[in-house]
Structure formats: C-alpha cells, structure tokens
Structure 1
C-alpha cells in the first residue's frame, strides 16, 4: 500500500464505533484521506512516518458555533446580563468598529487559537463572512460560513433584502471550495421577521444548505415571543416551515418535553454552548433529555466575547459535568459521548459526517495528536477519559486537515502568529479608547 504519511501512536480513538480505543496502531494517509488503520506491526512503509509516543490520535474537533471575528472583543464586557452586554457594549462596539479589516484580523486570531486547541472545523456566524472564509482557507481550516440575516442595518447590509442578496452571492462564490460550507444564518427569532424568515426558508430549500440560528437562548426570549407572536419561538419557526433536518438550533436552554420531541421527530441538530450559557446566566441546555430522545447534540464555544475562549476541550469537560449535575445521573454524557458531541455530532449537524468527524477509511485525514505524557494526564488507565476529564488544549501537539499539517510540535505552520497578535493589540487600543461602558 503506497501511502504519503504514517502516524504511529500508542492510542487511537476513531470515535466510530463509540468508545473504541485502538492500542499501538497506525493511521495511514494517502492523498489527504485515511487509507487504513492498522496495528503498527502490520503498517507498510510510507513516504513519511511520524512516531508519537505517549500521544493519542483522534479526529479534529468541530466547533459547531462561534463568531470568529469577535475574538477582538474578548474581555470587552464581562459579568453582565445578556441584554446589557449586547445593548450597552457589543452592539455599540460593532457599530463603531466592524468592517472587513476587523473581520479579517479577528478571524485570524480565532484561527490561530483554534488550530492550537485542536479544532479543525468551525461553524461561524458573523458579518463580512467573505473575510472569515478567506482566513480559514489560508489557514487550512474547514469552516461552515453562516451568512447572517437580521432585520436591523449594520455595516454589512442595510436591510433583509441586502443581507440575503449578499449572502446568496457569497454562497455561490464559496460553495465549491473544498474547505468551505456555506449556511444561511438568521440571527434569532426575536431579530428576524416572519416575512424575512419565509424568504430564508425558500432560499435555503433551493440551495439545500443548513440554517444556523440562535434559538431559545434565554427565558426572556420566550416571554417576548409569547407577547409578540402568541407562541414560543420554536413553535413560530415551525409554523413558518423552518423546523427540519437542516436546522442547527444554537443554545436551546429553554425547552419543554414537547419541543424536545419535535426536534427529535424533525431531525433538528442542537448546538450546546455550555460555558457561554453559564457565563451570561442564560440557562442550561437539557442535553441528557435531548440525547435520550435521539436528538443530535453538537458542541460550540460561542464567540470569545461571551465565553471567553474557543477551547473545545473545556466545552467537552463542562458539557459532561453539567449533564451529570443537572440530571443527578453520573452516567449522563460519559466521556465517549462528550467526544462524539465535539467531533462526529458536529460533522452531522453540518452535513459533513461522510467526510469528517471520525477516523474511518475513506474519510478526510482531519486529525489531531494530544500528548498525554504531562503530569496532569498520568497515569493513563483510559485515554478517552483522560481526554475529557484531565487533558487541556495545550497538550495538542499536531494538527492535520486533509493530510496537510497545520500544527507541528506545537508550532503553527500556516499563520504568522506574531503579526496576528500584534494586530489584535492594535485593535484593543482602538476599541478600548472608544468603549463608553466604563472599560478602563
């Protein structure tokens, strides 16, 4: 078997089948795809071999919801309720600063952080999506680019018609790129009208692309919808024909038993953002009930402005611990399920599970190596449990996307780290000088 690359490690976690650990195996890569998973003794010669003693190999992590460019707002306004955070800080700052350069530099900072943390694919929702797509492809990352639609004017578009027309143009421009998957991204039920949502549904159906939307994020959103529309947000979306298998419902902290059953029946994917939801006291997504009902639950960080990081290792651990604590069941969201939420389930939500999310022959070689030799992850009884409950993103040493190395021995290969951090510091000085909410 002719292969370009052979990766050898004491542990390989393919994710499919769930919970499996392969000991002393090798991953063989040819033309950017997984050619075989074999015992090391049976692995044929390859053009290049990397031995990773003390490491575990696993699929690259899929961050199913973020706002990449908002890394430039990290720490701008903390410890505030969502409405105050948005109205007094984030939306005014966006009005003053967001443009193509902001999106480019913020996305580059996010890409740098994600590569270092083992994320190989991210689902984004923000303005100037072209810039984020360009940064992702330059960095070698996969990205599902959400084309924002909202009823209020911004620097990106004046009205819903312009948001849609610009979004469709972007979709046409990027839909055949091997690393970019376009999505339509209506912001939230409370910020998009029925007429606009109907247009979005028609466009999404025509293009057969995903819908990525904040839904049921806070109790206040439910109250507002009942007052304005007479029904809860999910019921309103269902009435408009948007509750279906292409819907990625982000947050979903406020759910009834009937709403969980509806999501299961329609094949909706829920994106759980545990740390962001905790930080802004939005509520807790009922992950245990959703998974038991058969709903596909993926993980996202949300933006660094409300998290304050893009750390999928942290999200996996928090998701597992919250599920146990809220359900009173120590078996809820075990380590294997938490890892699946951060890999294969994210790929399923994005319609990419035939290509990424698990280490299966024929899939793209999107994978990461994590060094378990640190004191904090010794001794190793179960490498899967160590990943979720003990390991940190700082232990990621290597990252590949489609067989291309993005991180080697903890060194990012595709981005200029010094320049990116320098530009972030310049944005900090500019933003801090104009924030009127009391930032010192």
Structure 2
C-alpha cells in the first residue's frame, strides 16, 4: 500500500512535497517523492490530496480513567484540597463508570491524531479488556501508593507485579507508576528503580507538581506536610531536599523514568534530571488549571532534558467556549504556542513525536516516518501550504479532529468513513 500526500513531515528531515509512503506488513518500507516511487499495477494507493502527513502523535502522560470527570472538579485554592476532591469523586464511581470513561478518552485521542499513549492506570481491573477495545498503542503504567492503605512497599510492588504477569505484552504493554514522592514511601521508589533496571521496565511518576509538594520536601512544612502528617505518613524523608533530589536519593532517576510535571525545581534539579537522562513531561492545560507558576522551559532546555507533552486528564482541563474539552495533543500544543511562541513549531512537534518515542524506548519504531518504523500516521489539512516552513506551522497550529489516522498501516480514524483509495492511478 502507498499513501500519497501533498506534504510529509517525516520528523527526520525537511518536509517532503508531494511525497509518498510505501507500507508493508504494518511498517514503513519506503519514503520518497511521488514521482520517484515505483508502483506495481496491483498496489493500492491512498491519495490524501491536499493533506499533510506526520507521524502518529505520542501522548506522554494521560489518565484515561478520568475522562468523564471533565467539568466535575472546580479548581481548589490548595493542591491538597483538590486531591481530597478527586479521591471523593473516584469513590462514587463503579467499574463500569471507569470503563466507559477510559473508552471515551481513547476515542478522543484517536480522532485527534494520537496513536500511542502513556496512560497511568489506577483501575487495573480494566485491563486487558479495554486494550482490546481500541486500536491505540497503550503503555499502561500501574499506579502505586500504599500510604492510605498502610501497605508495606514490598506488598505494593508485589501486587503490581501480579498484574504485570497476567497482562499480555504486544501492541499494548505495562509499566510501573509510583504515584508521587509524597504519596509513596522511599523504600517503594527504590524497589521500583531496581525492578525497572533488572527487567527493562518504563516508570512514570508525578513529581514537583505543586508548591505544596516542594515546601513539604524542601522545608518540612506547609499544607501537604501537615495533611500527610495527620494521616500518619512517616515524614522523616522531608526537609532540606527537593522532590527531584528525593527521587535521586531513592535511586529512581534514570533513562527509564518519565518525570511528569516538574513545575517546581530547585537549584541544580534541571542538571540532575539531564545527567540521568530523565524525560520530563509537561501538561500545559493542566498546568493552567492549577495556576502553577511558569513552567521552567529555559532551565530544562538549557540543561538538555528530553521534553515531551501530555494531556493529563480532563478532570484538570478548564472548559473554554461552548464545547466540552477533549483529550488532544493539538490543544496542548495550542496552549504552549499561546504562552511560549519562542519555542517554534519544529521544536514543539518533536515534543509529541520524536521525544516521547525516545522516552518510551520506541526510537526507530514510532515518532518518525522512516523505513522500518511502524506505519502510524496522522493526516491534517494542508490547504494553503506552499512552502516547507508553512508545513511546520500548519501541523503545529492544527486544532480539531484530524483528516485520518493510521496504526500499523490500517486506517483507524475515521473508521466508518475511509479516505478515498484507488488501486492504481496514472501518475500526475
């Protein structure tokens, strides 16, 4: 099969005008100008016309479980109040509520061009049933805490490992997610770090998300410190250290780790993350919902940290206008472009393609349109795109549903209304 489009952003070189992608057995076999692509009479051609094709997007942080909580949780004055609010909301939901919410979120991601998602899974009973109901490539990171349940770290890890062992590993796979430094014990983080290194597992954790968390570890005070102390958390790991330094002390930092948020960094934290090849995931709309101080873009980029974007959950996205919010990396790109126009379209697009592929260990398989990679593609309108620089801007500035999405060369959006295809056409 060959996919032809007016423009192709391979993310491995300059935009290709009037390009074509040959797909065989779910992978990309060749990328070339249309006129240079030799075609057999039996080869199917999908001509997308005046469209722009880029790699399927990779969402580096999501909570599909909470999609249907959009608009349910108003922002709170303190972060700890929000934790209490979502904990209460979750307690009122059934397994069917979570399943329906998860599937709604997966559908939103597909129609907005995401083909791979790093999802934090708080309800492991949803798996692998939900995996089978979507064509998305899912990394389900199993959430672990243990503080409120008074569970020993080894028991918490053993329960997560039992889920890992029962889940099939193929298009979808699982990893580990100790929830956050404040909601876990240091021993659990060390156990997870050792497990990740010995078994090649990816790990994600929320870290330095709020000012309250930073105060808790740096100064051993503040609303979060007081709340957790009342809930009998051992607070001896707090004081004189930043949340990022806490992760370093437990041995969790490493190339296997996706550190989500990292909004509140102390001196040297950005360099520490870079030195250990940690990926940082920024969730722009969630950041605005909580009213956090400006994200440390320049410090992290200057240090050389691998930066990605994530949608987080719709529970932390403010409604704008008449339409309900959707899980969409293009909306996250819009949020960043509005506030940080200096970043530029090429750099931003790398944060939803090349960079998350590297973070998830998928270099050469996802995030680029190159021979040998999975044929995961997203097609966007390209009307008015005349030059290569316009193609970059058209991709980064897109909003709304995509024209088409493909996973392993199969069109998955819109599934019931395929784009025009033809067996063979005379070249133009």
Please indicate the TM-score interval, normalised by the length of the shorter structure: 0.7 to 0.9
Deviation for aligned residue 1:222: 0.6
- Aligned residue runs from structure 1 range 30-429, under 5 A: 30-43=24-37, 44-45=39-40, 47-81=43-77, 82-87=79-84, 89-99=85-95, 101-152=96-147, 160-174=153-167, 176-177=169-170, 179-226=171-218, 227=220, 228=235, 229-230=238-239, 231-307=241-317, 308-324=325-341, 330=342, 333-373=343-383, 378=384, 381=387, 382-389=390-397, 391-394=398-401, 396-408=402-414, 411=417
Distance 2:50 2:201 in 1: 41
Question: Any idea what the Cα deviations from partners look like across 1:370-390, whole Å, max 9, x if unmatched?
Answer: 1233xxxx465511112213x
Structure 1 residues 98 and 91: CA distance shift in structure 2, 3 A: farther
* SS of the residue 2:314 aligns to: coil
Question: Any idea what the Cα deviations from partners look like across 1:114-167, whole Å, max 9, x if unmatched?
Answer: 11100001111122235254323431110111011102457xx97655542232
Q: Give the aligned partner of residue 21 of structure 1.
A: 15
Deviation for aligned residue 1:410: 7.8
Higher-helix-fraction structure: 1
Question: Any idea what the Cα deviations from partners look like across 1:379-437, whole Å, max 9, x if unmatched?
Answer: 65511112213x2132x121111112211378599xxxxxxxxxxxxxxxxxxxxxxxx
- Which of 4, 21, 34 is equivalent to 1:8? 4
Deviation for aligned residue 1:334: 1.1
Taking structure 2 as the reference length, the TM-score comes to 0.85
Deviation for aligned residue 1:342: 0.7
Distance 1:412 1:98 in 2: 35
* SS of the residue 2:357 aligns to: helix
Unaligned runs of 5+ in 2: 221-234, 318-324, 420-428
Deviation for aligned residue 1:351: 1.1
Q: Conserved in 2, the CA contact under 8 Å of 1:344 and 1:356?
A: yes
Q: Which moved more, 1:8-17 or 1:278-287?
A: 278-287
Q: Which moved more, 1:357-366 or 1:132-141?
A: 132-141
Deviation for aligned residue 1:311: 1.1
Unaligned runs of 5+ in 1: 325-329, 414-440
Structure 1 residues 410 and 384: CA distance shift in structure 2, 3 A: farther
Distance 1:62 1:133 in 2: 20
Distance 2:10 2:327 in 1: 23
Deviation for aligned residue 1:169: 2.2
Matched residues, number:
389
Q: Conserved in 2, the CA contact under 8 Å of 1:107 and 1:132?
A: no
Q: Conserved in 2, the CA contact under 8 Å of 1:25 and 1:39?
A: yes
Higher relative contact order (CA 8 A, sep 6+): 2
Structure 1 residues 321 and 290: CA distance shift in structure 2, 3 A: farther
* SS of the residue 1:189 aligns to: coil
Structure 1 residues 207 and 146: CA distance shift in structure 2, 3 A: same
Deviation for aligned residue 1:256: 3.3
* SS of the residue 1:244 aligns to: coil
* SS of the residue 2:246 aligns to: helix
* SS of the residue 2:316 aligns to: coil
Deviation for aligned residue 1:321: 3.7
Deviation for aligned residue 1:183: 1.3
Taking structure 1 as the reference length, the TM-score comes to 0.83
Distance 1:152 1:412 in 2: 49
Distance 2:311 2:51 in 1: 25
Question: Any idea what the Cα deviations from partners look like across 1:348-378, whole Å, max 9, x if unmatched?
Answer: 11111231111010010011111233xxxx4
CA RMSD of superposed structures (Å): 2.2
Structure 1 residues 171 and 118: CA distance shift in structure 2, 3 A: same
Q: Conserved in 1, the CA contact under 8 Å of 2:279 and 2:305?
A: yes
Distance 2:111 2:418 in 1: 7
Q: Conserved in 1, the CA contact under 8 Å of 2:27 and 2:409?
A: yes
Deviation for aligned residue 1:71: 0.6
Structure 1 residues 136 and 171: CA distance shift in structure 2, 3 A: same
Q: Conserved in 2, the CA contact under 8 Å of 1:288 and 1:323?
A: no
